[in-house]
Amino acid sequence: MSNLARKKIKRKNAPGNRSDLGWEHGVEVGSRQVQCNYCKEIHSGGIYRLKHHLAGTRKNVSACPSVPEKVREKFATLLYAQSEASIKKKRWYTIEEEDDGNDDELVEVQQLHSSKGRGKHIGSMDKFVTKNKQVTMNRVFKKGERDLVIQQIARFFYTSAIPFNCVKNPEFLQMIDMISRFGIGLKPPSYHEIRETCLKKEVDFTQQMLEEYKIEWKKTGCSIMSDGWSDKKRRSICNFLVNSPKGTIFLYSIDTSNISKTAEKVCQMLDEVVDRVGEENVVQLVTDNAANYKLAGEMLMQKRKCLFWTPCAAHCLDLILEDFEKKIKDHKYTIAKGKKITTFIYSRAMLLNWLRDFTKGRELIRPAATRFATSYLTLSCLNEFKGELMAMFSSEQWRCSKFAKTKEGKRIHAIVMDNNGFWRLVVKCLKAAIPLLKVLRLVDSDTPPMGFIYQEMEKAKEEIQKNFNNVQKSYKEIWDIIDDRWEMQLHRPLHAAGYYLNPSIHYDPSFDPGSDIKLGLYTCLQRMVPEVSDRKKIDMQLEKFKQAKGLFGIEAAILARDTKQPAEWWDSYGDDYPELKKFAIRILSLTCSLSGCERNWSAFEMIKQKRAKPLSTKEEIGLENLSSDDEWLAADSVDSEDDSADFDEDNEGDDEVSRVAAKGKSVLVHDVSDEFHENDDGSNDDDSDRPPPGFERVRDFDDYAMDVDTRKDIDDEMRYDNDSD
């Protein structure tokens, strides 16, 4: 074709000739800038980029969130056809480079042509990577082979009882990659290599990593965490870990089965850990609230003048929730009734199936980091599914069942249908517990909570007061229980100092530290900074901090007060006052709980046992994390003899429950989804005392709305079931 003829042919995307299909769904707003008709986003790159935006390929452009499905499929098919035509035109073979079963990474290699008659080699080309998703030669010829390999890997997981989430471990992906790179002929490791040779190398590698952590400890300080537990062989194990912003590392464990854990012995063990970590690096020791640990911590503080002993905040909060149940009559009554409901349902496979039909597969039991948090979160689940439970126990299915005719069935039915008694008390219990569960979530998170815990405890008390409409007689008993634990056990100088040094709190107009806050601050200063001259410097520098002088007062520092973590803020803007900066960072980088210890239990169990057990962490929310004899699952002599007989007959042949025992014995529940969904509002019966939807959520505590009407005196209207208590 001549050059003149080419000039007469207009491109379909040239101005004045918008014949490309993409222009039906976008508008040109500038030079090679097109606005999507659906989401109104403007993208550069012309109509080509818009088509990928509509198809959702994410190739150098984000996917349109508002495009109709038919349009998306249309452009996905169009782009695929264009890609195929382009490949055929250029005479390329496309070879897929497998990446964890995805077809996203494609390596295209130019076909090598040769002509024996002419004796020519037409050409060759280096490999290059594209992002097209299409059927490739490798998928045609390798898919069957890959399926066999993947099945063998899966079989290894199944027969070794390896948790499925291990495939997400980066080390697993690295292992697969290195095996594929090695190629044919890799000899697998021997038992001796895994047990001895490789293990020693890994220990050496871990020690090298430990040196990197020690460098961080010198800057931020660290917390030594110690916690005891018993494994399945009834051995008493004591774990020692070190926490810093860089992460929590496991130091070692001691089998203390034959050791009398007196305060003196515990103090000796902790003292040895301090020597190993370095006293100059340690800011605090965190243990549980047991009397021997508390005394050991105080003894160690007398010996080591520069560190603190701090009780585990999560343990203290759990003790507060325990006191609620023990000391407040309404809480004790309500939790007991709630347990009767869950044990009655979960010990009968047929009822459990009915429940899942009504709740669309969601569960009543909500495992949590601590025992009593589980109790109150499960009450929250009961409250969330109040409508579904009432519908189930008033259904024709229930009325015609054998369960409805038993004595215990009638009792459970009465509890569930007790709208003005049991359900009002559930809301009342949650008003007191939910604010503390928020604090528990904070201290159990990976973010250093030392700068926030003091304020969060105060907020929790204020929220409880608001939940009870500021009626003192309604919340005074709750406040008294919190204050007893907070003042006697939880509140520590480090909490006060963290509160004072947190810039997001300190520069708030309402900030007004009392004498207890300042006393905690200067107590920390005296213990953590032994040199008098340095203490004087820090005291003077605190005035600069209060007045926002130097870097503290620049615009970037002001804007970052509420966005950066407190320790990071000090690291960024504290350079004018290095002594104060170091002091603040070492406090604001601290943890408040033993969550790191608890998350390592199951991993330690896998090492100590001869046969690997599935790893189940506190992070995984599901019924598999509750033991089969958990009090919310295992019935406690709730069945009459007639009820037990009905129970055995109705569950004959049911394979969902692997072991069922009547008359109060435990059940093992399997095949339970660990995903809890948000509640669908509007599905429940009309109830003036029912909380708004935000209060019914299980996942989120922040959206709880505590404006439930409490006009009537609950105590006067409670109906206690004397026969069942």
Query: For the segment 307-338, what is each residue's pLDDT rounded down to a tens digit?
Result: 999 999 988 998 999 999 999 999 999 999 99
R_g over Cα of the chain: 32
CA distance 93 to 692: 60
CA 600 to chain CA mean position, Å:
15
**Buried/exposed code over 183-204 (b: 16+ C-beta within 10 A; e: otherwise):** eeeeeeeeeeeeeeeeeeeeee
Give the number of C-alpha atoms closer than 13 A to the C-alpha of residue 322, restricted to the C-beta side: 10
CA distance 691 to 706: 8
CA distance 237 to 248: 19
Average pLDDT over residues 593-622: 45
Query: For the segment 472-518, what is each residue's pLDDT rounded down to a tens digit?
Result: 999 999 999 999 888 777 778 999 999 999 999 999 999 989 899 99
Strand partners for 110: 92
- Position 273 confidence tier, pLDDT thresholds 50, 70, 90: very high
- What's the sign of the alpha-carbon dihedral 680, 686, 687, 692? positive
CA distance 477 to 606: 44
CA distance 191 to 195: 6
CA distance 225 to 288: 9
Query: For the segment 286-304, what is each residue's pLDDT rounded down to a tens digit?
Result: 998 888 888 999 999 999 9
> At 191, is the secondary structure helix, strand, or coil?
helix
CA 423 to chain CA mean position, Å:
29
CATH code linked to domain 207-312: 3.30.420.60
Q: Domains of the chain: which residue ranges? A: 21-91, 207-312, 313-477, 492-592
Dihedral, 71, 73, 79, 84 alpha carbons, nearest 10: -150
Give the residue with greater pLDDT, 674 vs 582: 582
pLDDT (0 to 100) of residue 370: 61
**Buried/exposed code over 635-666 (b: 16+ C-beta within 10 A; e: otherwise):** beebbeeebbebbeeebeeeeebeebebeebb
Please, which contacts does 644-650 make with residues 24 or more away whose CB atoms are closer than 8 Å? Answer: 646/402, 646/403, 646/406, 647/347, 647/348, 649/402, 650/348, 650/349, 650/350, 650/402
Angle at 636 between CA 389 and CA 388, to 5 degrees: 5
Model pTM score: 0.62
Q: In sequence order, what E strands does 22-126 have?
A: 26-30, 33-36, 42-44, 92-96, 106-110, 114-115, 120-121
- Dmax over CA atoms of the chain, in Å, equals 105
Give the residue with greater pLDDT, 323 vs 87: 323
> Residue 684: CB partners within 8 Å, gap ≥ 6?
386, 387, 388, 390, 690
Q: Which of 276-280, 306-310, 645-649 has the weakest average pLDDT?
A: 645-649
- Give residue 123's region: left, alpha or beta (phi > 0; psi -120 to 50): left
Query: For the segment 126-181, what is each residue's pLDDT rounded down to a tens digit?
Result: 333 344 444 555 555 566 788 899 999 999 999 999 999 999 998 999 999 999 88
Strands 92-96 and 42-44: unpaired
Query: For the segment 360-416, what is each residue's pLDDT rounded down to a tens digit?
Result: 888 887 655 566 788 898 899 999 999 999 999 999 999 999 999 999 999 999 999
- What's the sign of the alpha-carbon dihedral 509, 514, 519, 520? negative
pLDDT (0 to 100) of residue 626: 41
Alpha helices (H) in 589-700, listed in sequence order: 595-599, 601-608, 641-650, 693-696
